[in-house]
Structure 1
Amino acid sequence: MGAFRRYACTSEHGEDWQEVDVAIASGRTAPLHSVRYALRLLEAAADHPEGLTEERLVQGAGLPPGQQRGILRMLIRDGYLRRLPDGALTVGEALLGLSSGAERQQLRRERLQRALDTLRDSIGAAVYLARYTDGELEVAHISGTPQLPVVNEWVDFRSAAHATAIGKCLLSQLDHDGRQDHLSRHKAARLTSRTITDRRTLLSALDRQPATMPVLDIQEYAVGTLCAAVPLTAGATVGCLALSLPVGQAHRLRMAAEALNRQAAPTLLTLAL
């Protein structure tokens, strides 16, 4: 059992709202790191279609020492990498088969949606996949049911990044100039009494956000709604995976956020491939 940190959620005016326990066990993010390493290996292989030795591939991917053996075995076994006659590694048929064609892209979207639906049912919460593209927030995929309803988008998510777990998670992955640029184009409007609207306070909170911990929205976007988001990063892509719960299920937020963090790794692999 890992350690936990308790956060007292307060508004910029100092009022206490609620305490939320969030896991900070370092081992809990290991699966996500493994997927990131796998993606780096695939990117390095794609950049050298002529093939690279295992040593050069690992160096090109920038993997920490001792991380590659099991990941390489998995990628070769599943057909994402293949060995050439001289022993060098290059991209495999499984990866090439997903790289082009409208039909294959549709299959990829369907596979991703199935992964999100499975994650939704496993966590017991509506889930969202979002990315930051060309200076704007985009919620690309949503999975909910009548029993696990999605958040009512009463204010366009693109204009409410300052108030949502999704938006704050994406902004936290940008550099300082990127955050400033976004906030200069989208005024931080007050959506509830708990929305942070002061730019300095918001930027400070983003600077302090640990990269391995879920970003929370405790009724900042909509009264009665709680959200958590975890980053999905692969190369230059800025993305996140998020969940939402009604405030009546606040006692489930910690465990749901932990599960989201654990299961982000296979979702990222589905998204990337």
Structure 2
Amino acid sequence: MSTPAGWYPDPSRQAQLRWWDGERWTEHTHTPAPAPGPGLDLRKDTPGTGDPWQHGQQHGQHRPYPTYGAYGDPAAGRSSARALATPDGQPLGNLGLRLLARIVDWVLVSVIATLAGWSLVQRMVRSMDDTLTAAVAGDPTASLRLLEDPGFNAALSSFTFVLIAVSAAYTVLPLRFYGATPGKALFGLRVRPWERPGHPTWGQSILRWLTSDLAVQLFWPYAVLDYLWPTWDRRKQALHDKPGGTVVVRRRR
């Protein structure tokens, strides 16, 4: 049986712990390491040299190290479907707070886009008001004329462009420079790469927007699957997290 993922004494420096991802050592370290119990041989608790918990259990000890980033309970030799934190120990974000953050971001983007394209909104409202008046007067073709109205269609196309541009700026720039949109920051959430701490790169920020907000604009049913995906994903990633390898975490205090 392979050694489960977890923090173990660093083979190169036993004063600290190093993250073992289940197959190999990573660059993630954790200090200070808890002092081992009496009779605990660190060499026997190192991945690649046998069962990391067997020696401690022989002495009636419980697992002595934290399990950040682990799947399930390594002490029991099992893996579950969900991670609790990133490899370096930052807890993953709560799904309920993530949904609230998305709602806040959506409202703010809509308000900003409406203000930026106010003249276009007025043109669409006038066209819809004329259509409603004609429909109330008994004109059965009023709704069809609205869809064929070049003025309405031009205003709708232009406003859609404004909405996409606002969404891109609102999402990509804060992610790249602050690691969070205003909605996520409000609820103490951050976006970061899974493998390392820090803000997403330009590529990760753009990919996250392309596969989220833009994809929803082009095909709205995608939003349902995208929003539900974290409920069963091992790292609580949405579909728009997958291309860039990002995750949503709780802000460090």
* Greater RCO (CA < 8 Å, at least 6 residues apart): 1
User: What TM-score results when the alignment is normalised by the length of structure 1?
Assistant: 0.24
TM-score for the superposition, normalised by structure 2: 0.25
Structure having the larger proportion of residues in helix: 2
Larger radius of gyration between Structure 1 and Structure 2: 2
